[in-house]
Amino acid sequence: MKSLSMPLLLLLLTAAAADVTAADWKAVRGIYAVTANNYLDPSETEPKDSHLRLQLSGEAARELYRAMKVRESRDECTGAIAKKVGEMQCLFYRGEKRYACHFSIDIMRQMVEYGIAC
């Protein structure tokens, strides 16, 4: 997924206007951080605000997981059932019946990239 037009628009508008009454708009549950590209160990010269990292949970994560029309596989890091499209990954924790999605947006290049390290 090289273009952010629809996913970014959906996330930003939903977060900014959770009370929008259009039928398909819903509030988003999750957390975010603005970080460096290498958020675990950024270099001194690396911009510290180049990526918006998103971790979706709840209904938003479940719907995104279901919208990913790809084969499921086992995630090596968590043991959860995973779906991955490009760098965007969603997980389903069967025992907990819980969904989570992780990805980041390179702000200046407007590209979806990996969300969190293993």
Supply the pTM of this predicted model: 0.75
Mean pLDDT value of segment 9-26? 58
Residue 33 has pLDDT above 70, yes or no: yes
Q: What's the pLDDT at 1?
A: 45
- The DSSP code sequence of 35-103 is E-SS-SS--TTS-TTSEEEEEEEHHHHHHHHHH--S--EE-TTT-SEEEEETTEEEEEEGGGTEEEEEE
Domain positions in the chain are 5-39+46-113
Beta strand 51-57 with 73-74 is: unpaired
